[in-house]
Amino acid sequence: MSLAPSAYMADDSDIVARVLDGEHGAIARMLTQVERRTPAVNDLLAALHHATGRAHVVGVTGPAGSGKSTLVAGLAAAYRRTGRSLGILAVDPSSVITGGAILGDRIRMSDLGSDPDVFIRSMATRGALGGLSRAVLDGVSVLDAAGMDVVILETVGVGQAEVDVISVAQTIAVVSVPGLGDEVQAIKAGLLEIADIHVVNKSDRPGADRTVAEIRDVVRHSPHREGQWKVPIQQTVASSHEGIDDLMRIFDDHAAWLAGNGARTDSHRRNAATRIRWAAEELVLGRFRTGDTAFDAAVETVVSRQSDPVSAARKLIAGPIANC
Amino acid sequence: MSQTVSNREIPIRVMLAKIGLDGHDRGVKVVARTLRDAGMEVIYTGLHRSPDQVVAAAVQEDVDVLGVSLLSGAHMSIFRRIFDLLDALPEPHRFTLLAGGVMPDEDVEELHRLGVAAVLGQDTPPESIVETVLRMVPVRSR
């Protein structure tokens, strides 16, 4: 019988070794632990850390309807033809009202379905975007540790939080489509600075040339230093696989450029800094909540004017940091 | 107690799949929306998948429930194939299987014997689909 939920008693004591072996079931459960932020997750991630830093992490972002999933599916097929293994994390928003979500990115990735060298995971934002950022970063690390040559992170580019998420990627592609009207506005609004490659997808549509021209204009007017990566604009029609192999080659060029310029190390350093900062926030803020005895006591001292907020905060931080 | 919204701290993850030569997905899409509105994360595979693709996807997504919608009449052979694939996994699968669609009573019995936890006929009201899924997945904290 498959009334499965022996699931929750399952012995996952060897999960680290099995993730390192690239076993899909173990990777999947490790990602679930990352999403749920289980008590064990920090120790498990610590045990995986030594095996990370090898994958080329590519971020693909752009507005809803720009064809990102189809593009990612095409890229994945192109990477597979070069013999590389890959992990895909597809992030979609949860409903803020019910917390539910329909995660449909797999629909476009069906051809990859049962390839043992492709691992696809859909992630919902589950409300808290700060929490999502950590889950995504950790998710990328899990796929990296599992030995994936390439990890593709797909997000809907909207706000600052998404920009933070996509920034974990070493190579970032920002996808636009002709005819959305305000696409270049959206790019100006924050994605421009982080784009390593601009993709104009659905380039068989009318207006593609104009979109390319507009992006070229924006790229040209952004500050460019000597020796810096020149941001290319690649046109694609993901649905008929046009321009996808070229796009993959640009990603590879960018990876080579990063490696040649020490920029890859910079990217790792930036990533490490972000992660330490987030971990510190979690460690410290974990105790700063109603219900914690010391915190509640501090609140009372501030309300009764025995202390002030800054002094109370200093005193709490100076105290022992809980093991979380 | 009847419950139509899950209200759980950790959302239930459900994969809904269409397998084989069966182009009817209006029903499964309604179910997807119903479950989403009940606070669940629903991964829809799209039409015309193979059992291999669906089993691989359900493992990767670490879902709590795999629901397979079949209106083609091929449910017996497809579910046998699914259970063969599940048996071949390196470790026991951890999700509950549900079947949806049109299936004669004697097949329903056989599906239960194979390991399908519940068979939801065509005219199952949305609330009882939600209730069935909630019943299948134990409440967990972390």
Q: Where are the domains positioned within chain A?
A: 25-263, 286-318
Instruction: Name chain B contacts of A8, Cβ cutoff 8 Å.
Output: 138, 140
Q: How confident is the model at residue A251 (pLDDT cuts 50, 70, 90)?
A: very high
Q: What is the predicted ipTM?
A: 0.88
Q: Which of A5, A37, A39 sits opposite B138 (nearest CB)?
A: A5
Contact state of A5 with B45 under an 8 Å Cβ cutoff: no
Q: Which of B16, B4, B134, B56 is nearest to A103 (CA)?
A: B16
- Where are the extended beta strands (E) located within chain B? 13-18, 41-44, 65-70, 96-101, 118-121
Q: Which residues of B touch A2 (CB under 8 A)?
A: 83, 86, 93, 96-97, 115-117
Q: Give the relative orientation of helices A24-36 and A129-145 as an angle to the nearest 10 degrees.
A: 160
| Contact (CB, 8 A) for A167 and A194 | yes
Q: Which amino acid is at B136?
A: M
State yes or no: pLDDT of A207 exceeds 50: yes
Q: Which residue has the higher pLDDT, B102 or A87?
A: A87
Confidence label for A185 from pLDDT (cuts 50, 70 and 90):
low
Q: Is B57 in Cβ contact with A25 (below 8 Å)?
A: no
B73/B81 Cα distance (integer angstroms): 14
- Which residue is it, tokens 């924006």? A218
What is the per-residue pLDDT for A183? 55
Residue A182's pLDDT is what?
58
Alpha carbons A309 and B3: distance in angstroms, whole number: 43
Give SS3 for A112.
helix
Q: Are A191 and A222 within 8 A, CB to CB?
A: no
Helix or strand (DSSP H, E) at B15: strand B13-18
Of all residues in chain A, the one with the smallest CA distance to B7 is: A98
* Host H or E run for residue B10: none
Q: Where are the beta strands (DSSP E) in chain A?
A: 56-62, 86-92, 101-103, 118-124, 150-156, 171-176, 197-200, 233-235
Residue A62's nearest CA partner among A91, A86, A102 is A91
Higher pLDDT: A108 or B38? It is B38
∠ CA A237-A243-A246 to the nearest 5 degrees?
Answer: 160
B 85-104 → A contacts, CB under 8 A? 86, 89-97
CB-CB under 8 Å, A2 with B115: yes
> Stretch A22-33: mean pLDDT, rounded?
95
pLDDT at position A289 over 80: yes
Does B42 reach chain A within 8 Å, measured CB to CB?
yes
Query: B123 to chain A nearest CA, in Å?
Result: 22
Give every CB contact of residue A304 below 8 A, 6+ residues apart in sequence.
none
Secondary structure (3-state) at A266:
helix
pLDDT surpasses 90 at A50:
yes
**pLDDT given for residue B46 in this prediction:** 85
Give pLDDT tens digits for A222-231.
777 777 899 9
pLDDT in the model for residue A324: 44
Q: Is B117 within 8 Å of chain A by CB?
A: yes
Q: Which domains, ranges and CATH numbers included, belong to chain B?
A: 13-124 (3.40.50.280)
Tell me if chain A has a CB within 8 Å of the CB of B4. Answer: no
- Beta-carbon separation of A102 and B44 below 8 A: yes
Average pLDDT, chain A: 85
Q: Would the pLDDT of A1 be above 50? A: no
CB-based contact, A8 to chain B, within 8 Å: yes
C-beta atoms of B45 and A1 within 8 A: no
pLDDT at A222: 75
Cβ distance of B43 and A5 shorter than 8 Å? no
Say whether residue B40 is in contact with chain A using an 8 A CB cutoff. yes
Q: Which one-letter amino acid corresponds to residue A191? A: L
- Shortest distance, CA B100 to any CA of chain A (angstroms): 17
- Assess A99–B contact: CB distance below 8 Å, yes or no: yes
Predicted local distance difference test score (pLDDT) of residue A2: 40
Rounded distance between C-alpha atoms, residue A114 and residue A138, angstroms: 24
Q: How far apart are CA A319 and CA B70, in angstroms?
A: 59
Per-residue model confidence as pLDDT tens digits over A103-138: 878 887 777 767 889 999 998 877 655 556 788 889
Cα-based angle A216, A220, A222 (whole degrees, multiple of 5)? 120
Structure token digits, residue A202 = 């659905």
Chain B nearest C-alpha distance from A38 (Å): 5
b/e sequence A215-248, b meaning 16+ C-beta within 10 Å: beebbeeeeeeeeebebbbbbbbbeeebbbbebb
Instruction: State which CATH number among 3.40.50.300, 3.30.2130.10, 3.90.1150.10, 3.30.70.60 fits the domain covering A25-263.
Output: 3.40.50.300
- Contacts (Cβ under 8 Å, ≥6 apart) of A81: none
Per-residue pLDDT at B4 = 46
Strands B118-121 and A118-124: unpaired
Q: Does A39 touch chain B (CB under 8 A)?
A: yes
B22–chain A nearest CA distance, Å: 15
**What distance in Å separates the CA atoms of residue A11 and residue A8, rounded to the nearest whole number?**
9
Q: Which structure tokens are listed for A244?
A: 């996808």
Q: What is the pLDDT of residues B41-93, one digit of tens each?
A: 999 988 888 999 999 999 999 999 999 988 878 888 999 999 999 999 988 88
Contacts of A108 in chain B (CB under 8 A): 46
Interchain proximity B41–A39, CB inside 8 Å: no
> How close does chain A come to B118, measured CA to CA in Å?
10
- Which of A110-114, A170-174, A266-270, A280-284 has the least mean pLDDT? A110-114
CB contact under 8 A, A24 and B11: no
How many residues in chain A?
A: 324
Give how far B135 is from chain A: nearest CA, Å: 11
Identify the helix (H) or strand (E) that includes residue B100.
Answer: strand B96-101
- The answer to whether the CB atoms of A94 and B11 lie below 8 A apart is yes
Read off the pLDDT of each residue in A174-193 and give the average, rounded to a whole number. 70
What pLDDT does residue A11 have?
61
Tell me which of A116-120, A162-166, A265-269, B23-27 is least confident.
Answer: A162-166
